[in-house]
Amino acid sequence: MSEDLRARILAELTRHTGKQVPAAFVKNTESFLPGITRFHNLITGIFKPAWSEYALSIAMFLESPYDHKDEIVFLKDGRWLMQYSPRFGGLSIADNRALAKCLADKVPLGVFKQLTPKTDREQGSTYLVLGLGMISSYDAKTDVFYVEGVDSTALKRVIDIIPDEEERCEVELYYQLTNEFQPLTQPEVTTYNANRIKREEAFREIVLREYDHTCAVCRMKFRLGRLVEATAAHIIAKRESGTDDPRNGLALCRTHHWAFDTGLFSLNDSYELIASPSVEKAEMMNFKLLELQSKTILLPENPVLFPHPKALAWHRTHILRQ
């Protein structure tokens, strides 16, 4: 039972990778996500629930006696590496043993980094959700655990317990956000358990959810339950081996999806619309595209999910009509 609960909590946490969230979201999670009591209690850096022998999550605070050792390094490929100091007392402390147990059994855990203090007048205490991490080693001399972004093997321990195939696929796609963006799929490498149809459904659900079911270009929205006018567009199309990574996605109404796929417009790296010169030569009526030239599109709340520059560059080079 505890393994099922742990997997469910970590799977939900993965959906929030890269977000800046208030302290209440972390420690009073049930108010935001019914069924999950908390991701972390924010009392000490290590959170070990009574129902588990493993640490569920760790947090790096702004004010800490370990500031001289604790570090996070963000790599250019999007991954992160961390040195994490446990509580004083070594492995005789239960919380520290819970971290060592994660290391020994290769069990993933959630990772948070505090961004603003309680005294911040605008936001109060906020945290960055780094996502899932793996404890890769422990240095007894310096009393430091080394933590890095979770790998696919460890992620499998979380998703294999999830009964719904599409939900498993969503977690896998969110997990990709912590890795280097690969614009094109690599057929010779199998990275997903879910079948292709479920992957496409998961991609659609993620993109539409993150754009609030709204066209990024014209901001039109119609949603009645599962009846949604907006579509999830691949920046690099599937027929061109475009990836299902959410950063290769945009929510577009059907008209602007067609216009984007046919190269009537693209986006620059500042997410401003670039209309093709050919649009001026067309016969148009109630087709508002030139009016949107240089306008910034609607973007997800989470910057990690912004369209990736590599995908946009590919679209400008290969699809935008000259």
Domains (ranges, CATH) in the chain? 2-158 (2.30.280), 180-318 (no CATH)
Say if residues 255 and 272 touch (Cβ distance below 8 Å).
Answer: no
Look at phi and psi of residue 246 and say left if phi exceeds 0, alpha if psi is from -120 to 50, else beta: alpha
- What number of H helices and E strands is found in the chain? 8, 14
CA 109 – CA 9 distance, rounded (Å): 10
Say if residues 231 and 251 touch (Cβ distance below 8 Å).
Answer: yes
pLDDT of 58 reads 95
CA 315 – CA 307 distance, rounded (Å): 11
CA 108 – CA 110 distance, rounded (Å): 7
User: What is the gyration radius of the CA atoms in the chain, in angstroms?
Assistant: 22
CA 56 – CA 126 distance, rounded (Å): 19
Residue with tokens 């699809």: 319
Note down pLDDT in tens along the chain; length 322 residues.
577 888 889 999 998 988 899 999 999 999 999 989 999 999 999 999 999 999 999 999 987 655 445 567 776 656 678 888 888 767 778 899 999 999 999 999 999 999 999 887 777 899 999 889 999 998 888 888 899 888 777 788 788 888 888 888 888 888 888 777 888 876 544 444 447 788 899 999 999 999 999 999 999 999 999 899 999 999 999 999 999 999 999 999 999 999 999 999 999 999 999 999 999 999 988 898 999 999 999 999 989 899 999 999 999 999 999 8
Q: Which residues contact 321 (CB under 8 A, 6 or more apart)?
A: 262, 263, 264, 276, 277, 278
Segment holding 315, helix H or strand E: helix 309-318
DSSP conformation class of 151: P
* Strand spans (E) along 65-193: 71-74, 80-84, 109-116, 126-139, 144-149
pLDDT of 188 reads 46
CA 179 – CA 80 distance, rounded (Å): 9
Say if residues 138 and 92 touch (Cβ distance below 8 Å).
Answer: no
